[in-house]
Amino acid sequence: QDAFGAERRKAKMLNFSIAYGKTAQGLSRDWQVSVKEARDTLKLWYRDRKEVSAWQKRQKELAREKCEVYTLLGRSRRFPNMTHAPHGQKGHVDRAAINAPVQGSAADVAMCAMLEIERNARLKELGWRLLLQVHDEVILEGPTESAEAARAIVVECMSKPFYGTNILKVDLAVDGKCGKSWYDAK
């Protein structure tokens, strides 16, 4: 169990590192391994995910050519012109050009899911209201007797956050739990 947990944490760290545009040097520091080992790990990860590498390349080009990148819903993050910038600043912009659409699009999805929940008349009829959002989680408050019905509605709203549909090419996996407190629902 301990070894599995450690490997799972490493895999999660790798996925987040890639989303943040982390280099082999940064990954080697995080994992406390050689730069070669980190580079080899990244190569293995990208070998089976060429579309991710191509998408990241497009984001870097957008940041350099148009000085901005976009989220799923078209919100933009602007960057300074990098024509005469030092190498270190270009690396920072490259990483931000990868990260901004990922994080911004996650925020787009969360925002749309909350709007779906807020618009849902059945949740209101059952006495439920949106209380809090933390990252990719939402917390609602309502009567215990309708908790399971509300949970099912919330899962549906979150898995299809764009006016009852999912415009993404992948399904949104949603896990819903009920409890007397946020801690109990974890």
Task: Confirm whether 144 is domain-assigned.
Answer: yes
Task: Tell me if residue 67 falls in helix, strand or coil.
Answer: coil
Residue 2's CB is within 10 A of a number of other CB atoms, namely 6
**Residue 38 falls within a domain, yes or no?**
yes
Confidence at residue 159, expressed as pLDDT on a 0 to 100 scale: 95
Backbone angles phi, psi at 133, to 5 degrees: -125, 135
Per-residue confidence (pLDDT) for residue 101, from 0 to 100: 96
At 166, phi and psi to the nearest 5?
-125, 110
Does residue 103 sit within a domain? Answer: no
- Is 133 among the domain residues? yes
Q: Is residue 56 a part of any domain in this protein?
A: no
The predicted pLDDT at position 8 comes to 84
Count of domains observed in the chain: 2
Is 121 contained in some domain? Answer: yes
Task: Give the tens place of pLDDT for each residue, 6-40.
Answer: 788 888 888 888 877 788 998 899 889 999 999 99
The answer to whether 79 and 91 have CB atoms below 8 angstroms apart is: no
Q: Quick check: 1 pLDDT over 60? A: no
pLDDT tens, 135-168?
Answer: 889 999 999 999 999 999 999 999 999 998 989 8
Q: Which two tokens stand for residue 104?
A: 């911004």
Three-state SS annotation for 18-50: HHCCCCHHHHHHHHCCCHHHHHHHHHHHHHCCH
Q: pTM of the prediction?
A: 0.84
CATH number of the domain to which 178 belongs:
3.30.70.370
In a domain, residue 71? The reply is no
> Phi and psi for 134 in degrees, rounded to 5?
-135, 110
Residue 127's domain comprises 110-185
Tokens 């007397």 label which residue? 180
Assigned domain for 59 exists: no
Calculate the alpha carbon distances from 72 to 57, 100, 111, 112, 120 in Å: 17, 11, 12, 11, 23
Looking at residue 29, its pLDDT comes to 92
**How do residues 53-96 score in pLDDT, each as one tens digit?**
999 999 999 999 999 999 999 999 999 998 888 888 998 999 99
Mapping DSSP to helix (H, G, I), strand (E, B) and coil, where does residue 115 land?
Answer: helix
Confidence of residue 100 (pLDDT cuts 50, 70, 90): very high
